[in-house]
């Protein structure tokens, strides 16, 4: 036990050295002063341009996915909308990427860069679709691939969705190392990065975020080409923040700077993602508040020293839905539009369905991703797993849901609703965390740090002063 503790402490004490070597980025170049770092310079100098990213992705079976109008679901939304309301709902079918999710865009650039820089393999620490995406793109580049997966609780029980993703990673040639819930995942990742000298294909690197920018670009360009305007709103399922960050950056670079960028997450309030007891009391692993809220309020908790996923820079609105609503909308998409897809994109579709009812008929709202489904990712094994864990599954009012206790499916589409996350609450939480981390008080902030915080939170100087005063 003492030897294990010593090894843990030794590895963790070398965190910065190991991460820098595994990514090949000198983050010190971009540190400015205290809290502040030069985010745009970091993205410009370490990532690839939008044109380069598009070329790399085209060569590796990624991108140019169809933008599909959900005509039947739009008609259903209009049934419940006031007269003249009911925006057209579109979905970007990212399941058409070769491993079945938008995360292939991130993985394509990381694998390409790893090959270019002479790394022999890539490593990804993830329980999600990203592992399969990295495995697929590593195979394209002829690289070894290790996926480290937070898989099970202390009773060695794993969720069906995570087990399915492990199967897919292995099918695509990756070695999968499964860990229990908690700090073991990050420790294992550091140790294996150190031992192998492989590239850290992090979800939060500049390469990963730049890879998602083409998703925003494609949405903007296709809407302008077809409808002579950009979409009024794009809804992004939000977990670690990279999906929203990359999409928003691509929209802005393509001219769609006025498009509202909306975050959507599944409400798992009360469940702790690092809790052994809570781990299997959530029914799917994607797009929930257990990642969405903490990563928004402090993005640098990730496996790179400065995360390139900084959602509060780009997020205009944030809404939550309940698990039962996502399951219901998953069936709605399959049975009304012939598209059987997994829960990640359907989290955004749940939000879009409600928001469309508040928007004008001639407006456009885009759900910017889908994911593949099947095996453990399908709603039937997920609901069966919930029941086995004592979760009460029933029809009723989804707003009466209690995370980890029940899953309430809506009786009708009319019962699908959304909960607003107040942006000021998120921004104040960010400020509390960052000031505490850097041991700063409001009066300690330099002019450079103050300016940086206005950019981080996308607020005016006056608004930042107001938020600082309130905390």
Do 435 and 465 share a structural domain? yes
Do 449 and 347 share a structural domain? no
Is 51 contained in some domain?
Answer: no
Residue 240: closest CA among 102, 354, 382: 102
Is residue 464 a contact partner of residue 457, using CB atoms and an 8 Å limit? yes
* Mean pLDDT along residues 86-95: 98
Give the whole-number percent of the chain exceeding pLDDT 90. Answer: 83
The model's pLDDT over 265-319, given as tens digits with 9 standing for 90+, comes to 999 988 887 788 888 888 777 788 989 999 999 999 889 999 999 999 999 999 9
Does the pLDDT at position 330 exceed 70?
yes
Task: Quote the DSSP letter at residue 360.
Answer: B
* Mean pLDDT along residues 445-471: 97
Question: CA-CA distance, 164 to 375, in Å (whole number)?
Answer: 6
More confidently predicted of 178 and 283: 178
Do 456 and 439 share a structural domain? yes
Q: In what order do the strands lie in the sheet with 67-69?
A: 67-69, 88-92, 364-367, 233-237, 260-266, 317-321, 419-420
Spacing of C-alpha 118 from chain mean position: 28
DSSP SS3 for 422: coil
* Mean pLDDT along residues 165-176: 94
DSSP assignments along 426-448, one per residue: HHHHHHHHHHHHTT--GGG--HH
Give the range among 276-285, 413-422, 450-459 with minimum mean pLDDT: 276-285
Which pLDDT value is given to residue 159?
86
Do 429 and 384 share a structural domain? no
- What is the DSSP pairing of strand 317-321 with strand 144-152? unpaired
Dihedral sign from CA coordinates of 100, 102, 103, 107: positive
Is residue 376 a contact partner of residue 162, using CB atoms and an 8 Å limit? yes
Do 279 and 410 share a structural domain? yes
Do 437 and 372 share a structural domain? no
Is 249 contained in some domain?
Answer: yes
Is 186 contained in some domain?
Answer: no
Is 140 contained in some domain?
Answer: no
Is residue 144 a contact partner of residue 119, using CB atoms and an 8 Å limit? no
User: Both tokens of residue 313?
Assistant: 């820079």
Question: Across all residues in the chain, what is the average pLDDT?
Answer: 94
Name the residue range of residue 460's domain.
423-470
Domain tally, the chain: 2
DSSP SS3 for 144: strand
Q: What CATH number does the domain containing 350 carry?
A: 3.40.50.1100
Give the range among 63-67, 178-182, 229-233 with minimum mean pLDDT: 178-182
> Given pLDDT bands bounded at 50, 70 and 90, which one contains residue 2?
low
Which pLDDT value is given to residue 5?
66
Do 440 and 413 share a structural domain? no
Question: CA-CA distance, 471 to 467, in Å (whole number)?
Answer: 7
Is 393 contained in some domain?
Answer: yes
Question: CA-CA distance, 126 to 208, in Å (whole number)?
Answer: 14
The count of residues in the chain is: 471
* Mean pLDDT along residues 16-32: 94
Q: Which of 404, 420, 436 is the last residue of a domain?
A: 420
User: Both tokens of residue 2?
Assistant: 């003492």
DSSP assignments along 383-417, one per residue: HHHHHHTT-EEEEE-GGG--TTTEEEEESSGGG--
Alpha helices in 242-362 (DSSP H): 242-253, 289-297, 323-337, 343-356
Partnered with residue 92 across adjacent β-strands are 67
Do 356 and 234 share a structural domain? yes
Residue 237: closest CA among 81, 363, 66, 352: 352
Does the pLDDT at position 154 exceed 90?
no
Does the pLDDT at position 3 exceed 60?
no
Which pLDDT value is given to residue 4?
66
User: Both tokens of residue 435?
Assistant: 């000031």
Which pLDDT value is given to residue 277?
82
- C-alpha distances in angstroms, 114 versus 118, 158, 233, 241, 347? 6, 31, 35, 23, 32
Does the pLDDT at position 356 exceed 70?
yes
Which pLDDT value is given to residue 453?
98
* Mean pLDDT along residues 34-46: 96
Do 428 and 358 share a structural domain? no
Exposed, middle or buried: residue 32 (CB in 10 Å: 0-12, 13-18, 19+)? middle
Is residue 162 a contact partner of residue 286, using CB atoms and an 8 Å limit? no
Which pLDDT value is given to residue 372?
92
Do 338 and 427 share a structural domain? no
Is residue 124 a contact partner of residue 148, using CB atoms and an 8 Å limit? yes
Tokens 């897809």, residue located: 341
Is 1 contained in some domain?
Answer: no
Is 175 contained in some domain?
Answer: no
The model's pLDDT over 217-265, given as tens digits with 9 standing for 90+, comes to 999 999 999 999 999 999 999 999 999 999 999 999 999 999 999 999 9
Do 375 and 304 share a structural domain? yes
Q: Record the pTM.
A: 0.96
The model's pLDDT over 189-200, given as tens digits with 9 standing for 90+, comes to 999 999 999 999
Is 163 contained in some domain?
Answer: no
Is residue 43 a contact partner of residue 206, using CB atoms and an 8 Å limit? yes
Do 436 and 311 share a structural domain? no
Is residue 365 a contact partner of residue 352, using CB atoms and an 8 Å limit? yes
Angle 242-253/206-227 helices, nearest 10 degrees? 50
Which pLDDT value is given to residue 424?
98
* Mean pLDDT along residues 208-214: 98
Residue 188: closest CA among 325, 11, 342: 11
Residue 336: closest CA among 59, 70, 133: 70
Partnered with residue 147 across adjacent β-strands are 124, 176
> Given pLDDT bands bounded at 50, 70 and 90, which one contains residue 448?
very high
């Amino acid at each position: 036990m003492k030897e294990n503790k010593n090894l843990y402490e030794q590895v963790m004490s070398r965190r910065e050295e190991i991460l820098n070597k595994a990514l090949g980025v000198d983050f010190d170049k971009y540190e400015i002063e205290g809290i502040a770092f030069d985010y745009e310079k970091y993205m410009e100098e370490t990532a690839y341009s939008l044109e380069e990213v598009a070329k790399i992705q085209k060569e590796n079976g990624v991108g140019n996915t169809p933008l599909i109008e959900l005509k039947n679901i739009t008609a259903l939304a209009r049934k419940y909308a006031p007269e003249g309301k009911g925006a057209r709902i579109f979905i970007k079918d990212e399941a058409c990427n070769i491993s079945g999710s938008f995360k292939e865009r991130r993985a394509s650039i990381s694998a390409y860069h790893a090959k270019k820089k002479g790394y022999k393999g890539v490593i990804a620490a993830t329980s999600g679709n990203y592992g399969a995406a990295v495995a697929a793109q590593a195979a394209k580049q002829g690289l070894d691939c290790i996926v480290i997966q937070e898989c099970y609780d202390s009773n060695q029980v794993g969720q069906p969705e995570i087990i399915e993703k492990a199967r897919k990673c292995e099918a695509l040639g990756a070695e999968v190392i499964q860990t229990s819930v908690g700090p073991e995942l990050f420790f294992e990742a550091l140790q294996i990065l150190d031992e192998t000298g492989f590239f850290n294909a992090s979800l939060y690197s500049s390469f990963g975020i730049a890879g998602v920018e083409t998703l925003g670009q494609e949405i903007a360009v296709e809407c302008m080409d077809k409808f002579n305007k950009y979409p009024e709103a794009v809804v992004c399922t939000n977990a670690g923040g990279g999906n929203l960050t990359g999409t928003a950056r691509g929209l802005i670079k393509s001219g769609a700077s006025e498009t509202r960028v909306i975050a959507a997450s599944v409400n798992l309030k009360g469940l702790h993602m690092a809790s052994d007891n809570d781990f299997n009391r959530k029914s799917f692993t994607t797009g929930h508040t257990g990642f969405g809220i903490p990563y928004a309020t402090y993005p640098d908790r990730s496996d790179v020293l400065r995360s390139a996923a900084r959602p509060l820079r780009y997020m205009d609105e944030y809404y939550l839905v309940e698990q039962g609503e996502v399951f219901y909308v998953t069936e709605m998409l399959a049975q009304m539009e012939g598209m059987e897809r997994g829960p990640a994109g359907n989290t955004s579709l749940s939000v879009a369905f409600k928001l469309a009812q508040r928007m004008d008929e001639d407006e456009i709202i885009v759900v910017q991703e889908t994911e593949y489904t099947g095996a453990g990712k399908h709603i039937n094994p997920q609901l069966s797993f919930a029941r086995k864990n004592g979760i009460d599954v029933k029809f009723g009012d989804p707003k009466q849901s209690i995370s980890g206790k029940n899953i309430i499916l809506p009786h009708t589409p009319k019962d699908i609703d959304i909960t607003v996350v107040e942006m000021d609450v998120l921004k104040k939480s960010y400020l509390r965390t960052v000031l505490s981390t850097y041991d700063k008080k409001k009066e300690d902030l330099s002019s450079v740090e103050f300016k940086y915080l206005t950019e981080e939170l996308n607020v005016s100087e006056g608004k930042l002063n107001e938020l600082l005063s309130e905390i």
